[in-house]
A and B are shown apart, each in its own frame.
Chain A
Amino acid sequence: MAANDTASATKLIKGRVVLNQLLKFLFLLATMVGLIFLVLLIYRVLDQGLGFLDVNFLTSFPAPFPEEAGLLAGIMGSIFLMLLVAPIAVILGVSTALYLEEYAPKNRFTRFIQVNVQNLAGVPSIVFGLLGLTFFVYLFSLGYTLIAGALTMSLLILPVIVVASQEAIRSIPNHLREASIGMGASKWQTIWTIVLPAAIPGILTGSILALSRAIGETAPLIVVGAATTIYSIPDSLLSKYTAMPIQIYSWTVRPQEEWQYVAGAGIIVLLVILLAMNAVAVWIRNKFQHRF
């Protein structure tokens, strides 16, 4: 009897160990799949693009010859877009999240808003482009300008920022709020001094993911009239503009092979700017995390 028990127990344990090893291997495999494709992609882009990536590429406007074409208009257009989109979307998004989490009564209407915001995060970007065309370009008569593009992009990433900020705010333990209220602080004082500082790392992570999406979007910008070829840098909110992904796309559809390399160089620049944005976010996040 006892011997039998030990035998079956050993068998059971052995089964669990094998299962554990198997799953560990599967999870590692899953990680590798993503990683391998990322490495392949980066290798291919570097291989194709590095030859065309020089100072000239960064400081020139578009040209009909691959060796002379540059991304300057796209780089500056994208940077100015982000400089506008970031404050607009983050301020609106965090305010919405604060209202929904801290102030709004937990009733059917709030839940209705909640569900809608979550669904908006999944709406295809081209739909936001059409929305921007209808409202900002035509109804508000902004035309095909930088500010119309920035407002459209802000709308596009707003839902993601709202949802991420809500999660971050919700994860702050309630006893922190209660302690603050117990000390006589008002709701706003509690939010400003306790909730927001504690939630900033989460809010930033969400915001930066959203901004990364915005900087790579092409479709909605084409709809709201970002130019393909332009020989100027935006100098006001009502300037015509272009953006990096639009220029890169217009190069990839060209017939001559060299344009694929020019596009590769453009993708490298886009990736570097994206990484720089992420780095800034990580830096801010770490800075705030030290306080607690």
Chain B
Amino acid sequence: MEKMRLLKLSVPVTLAAGLLVGCGGAEEDAAAESTSSVSGEVLIDGSSTVQPIMEAVTYMYNQENPEVETVLNTSGTGGGFERFTAGETDFSNASRPIAEDEVALAEENGIDYTELELAYDGLSVVMSQQNDFVDELSVEQLREIFLADSDAETWSDINPEWPDEEIVIFSPGHDSGTFDYFNEVILEEQPMKDGENVTLSEDDNTLVTGIQGNPYAIGYFGYAYYEANQDSLKVLGISQDGGEAVKPNPETIQDGTYTPLSRPLFTYVNNEALKNKPQVADFTIFTLENAGEAASQVGYVALPEEEYQKQLDEVKSIIGEEAE
């Protein structure tokens, strides 16, 4: 709060100069070369789910290294990989692992990369606080509720003791990494229901609003959206293979007992950039050292410390390769 950056008066002047120079050339050469610290650009794109973590990391990094310009875009996991596999970006944030066709594209373009896990998120299956009959569901019941070829139309079709009311579904849109993950582990790539009782939205807050007011509505999204709306939403425990139902919370998400809906969030780094751009190497190390703190700040769950350390060693050995 107290640190006020005053608007630099020189800015319009420099822009005018830029206009005169026109489309001259690469501006990064113009940056003053300092011997002690790194400079240049770090280009990041990808998932909107991972964006808050990366924003927190770039914020901390920028405080320490104002010479480096971090540019964080949000084209979505798929859009991010499109640019990443074409070699346009240094980092690609992803809420799912890189897909086969994207791996093939990267190979075709000669892009070598390293996958880094930044944090965990627990996909939370939620209903309204007004709902008084469901507290937990099994993976099989979830499939019955969400799959297109199941006959379950009403809650009583799932469990005869439950009311004869239609099931209303709120789900992230089919382009989102969140849907991709749910699709993979719960639906097993079979088509999801659609129709008048299904609402898809790319904005998780829309899903929250829809579920809040309807006792017969069910939906899922990242844990942070449940955490921020605990007073109006209730989170369901999920059981697998006849086991005990587990509710998501930072502990169960981190130690993996909340399964199968606990998912890692990734960023992918371009190895070429890691070796040849000092600012990318520096930023990667900084990211792994601070991702845990950044994740908890914005409502995600940090990995166990040793996981970051393991990745840090791996990254450092890749950076070291170039020195020899």
Residues of chain A at the chain B interface (Cβ within 8 Å): 55-56, 59-65, 67-68, 72, 76, 80, 83, 142, 144, 147, 222, 225-240, 250, 252-257
The answer to whether A63 touches B59 (Cβ under 8 A) is: yes
Cα-based distance from A55 to B3 in the complex (angstroms): 11
DSSP class of B's interface residues: helix, strand, loop or mixed? mixed
From the candidates A233, A239, A240, A255, name the one contacting B8 in the complex (CB within 8 A).
Answer: A233
State the B residues within 8 Å of A (CB): 1, 4-8, 11, 14-15, 17-19, 21-24, 26-27, 41, 48, 51-52, 54-56, 58-59, 62, 66, 69-75, 203-205, 222, 224-225, 227-229, 294, 297-299
Smallest Cβ-Cβ distance to A240: which chain B residue: B71
Once the chains bind, are B48 and A68 in contact (CB under 8 Å)? no
Q: Establish whether residues B55 and A62, one from each chain, have CB atoms under 8 Å apart when the complex forms.
A: yes
CB distance from A219 to the nearest CB of B (A): 12
Q: Give the CA-CA distance A253 to B222 in the complex, in Å.
A: 12
Checking A144, A225, A236, A255 against B228 with a beta-carbon cut-off of 8 angstroms, the contacting residue is A255
Most buried by B among A147, A232, A233, A237: A237
Q: B222–A255 contact, CB under 8 A?
A: yes
Partner of A67, one of B1, B58, B225, B294: B1
Q: Flag if B205 contacts A232 (CB, 8 Å).
A: no
Residues of B within 8 A of A230 (CB): 69-72
Are B73 and A147 in contact, with the CB atoms below 8 A?
no
A222 vs B8: C-alpha distance when bound (angstroms): 27
Known: A62-B55, A64-B294. A231 touches B74 (CB 8 A): no
Question: 30 A–B contact pairs at CB < 8 A?
Answer: A56-B4, A59-B4, A60-B5, A62-B59, A64-B55, A64-B56, A64-B294, A67-B1, A76-B11, A142-B23, A147-B23, A222-B73, A222-B74, A225-B75, A228-B51, A228-B72, A228-B73, A229-B55, A229-B70, A231-B62, A233-B8, A236-B15, A236-B17, A237-B18, A237-B22, A238-B18, A238-B26, A240-B41, A252-B205, A255-B299
Q: Beyond the given A61-B62, A225-B73, A231-B59, could you list 10 further A-B residue pairs with CB under 8 A, ordered by the A residue number?
A: A59-B5, A62-B59, A222-B75, A227-B71, A227-B72, A228-B74, A233-B8, A238-B27, A252-B205, A255-B227
CB of B18 within 8 A of CB of A236, answer yes
Q: Which residue of B lies closest to A55 (CB)?
A: B4
Contact A229–B58 (Cβ < 8 Å): yes
Instruction: Give bound CA distance, A72 to B38, whole Å.
Output: 24
CB-CB < 8 A to B225: which residues of A?
255
Q: A55, A62, A67, A235: which has the most chain B beta carbons within 10 Å?
A: A235
- A contact residues around B227 at 8 Å (CB): 255
CA distance A76 to B26 in the complex (A): 21
CA distance A142 to B6 in the complex (A): 31
Which residue from A63, A76, A253 sits with its C-beta under 8 Å from B205?
A253
Q: Are B1 and A56 in contact (CB under 8 A)?
A: yes
Q: Which of B15, B41, B71, B205 contacts A255 (CB 8 A)?
A: B205
Task: Tell me whether B70 and A257 are in contact (CB under 8 A).
Answer: no
- Check B52–A235 contact: CB distance below 8 A: no
Chain B, residue nearest A141 (CB): B23
Asked, given contacts A240-B41, A250-B74, whether A231 binds B23 with beta carbons under 8 Å apart, the answer is: no
Chain A: minimal CB distance from B213 (Å)? 17
Among A234, A239, A253, A255, chain B packs the most CB atoms within 10 A around the CB of A255
Contacts of B74 in A (CB 8 A): 222, 228, 250
